[in-house]
Amino acid sequence: GVYVLSGLALLFLSSSRSGWLGTAAGLGLLLLLFLRDKGLSVSRVVRFVRARRFLSLLAAAAGLALIGGLGYVLYRQAVHPTHSSFLEARQGFWTSALITIGQHPILGQGPFTFVSALARTQSIPVFGVYLHSHSLPLTLAAEIGLVGLAAFLFLFVSAVRQLWRCFADLLPAKRLLAAGLLAAVAAAAVHSLFDTMIGKTFGLW
């Protein structure tokens, strides 16, 4: 519990919007896995709560508090002094990646060469030197092409299917590890759509 709380505090202080999206995806999947493990569905839980007036009021109050809290956090991020808007912050990176994909669509321009693509399309200095496009799919497509991206997706889907089978087949006491791994993979997958620094945030997850 202490580790989880410290991780959430660090994640909040990092002001990583993609990290927060990934964390939300991981926590959401954990909730769905918990319901599945208990033989419940979301609709069944909703019916159970609605049938009890006190629980309905409690759920409504908790929902409003959660929405209010998330809204405040999103507002603070929108006016964060170190960030531009979510898409503006990545426009330069994604533009360089898309140009490179258009020039080398099949096999890419070579592994770990995104920085050269960035230097061709952006002013350095001013823009800064970055080794990836702040999107794992775009970085892979630019560097190893659509063939490499397809190979990566095949491996990713295979790993997720194997983890899912483990979760379904293991004894209840051992499902916790598989569920945690699935949640971490979900968090990393969503985070990686907007950033590629998995190592930093993955430790928190």
Predicted confidence (pLDDT) per residue in 42-62, tens digit: 777 777 777 877 788 888 888
Tokens 């049938």 map to which residue? 51
pLDDT over 90 for what percent of the chain? 24
Long-range CB pairs of 62-65 (<8 Å, 24+ gap) are: none
Q: Helices (H), strands (E): how many in the chain?
A: 9, 0
Q: Is the pLDDT of residue 105 over 90?
A: yes
Interval 134-143 mean pLDDT: 92
Predicted confidence (pLDDT) per residue in 143-160, tens digit: 999 999 999 999 999 999
User: What is the rounded distance in angstroms from the CA atom of residue 125 to the CA atom of residue 119?
Assistant: 9
Interval 173-194 mean pLDDT: 87
Binned at pLDDT 50, 70 and 90, residue 122 comes out as confident
**Half-sphere exposure for 184 (CA within 13 Å, toward CB):** 15
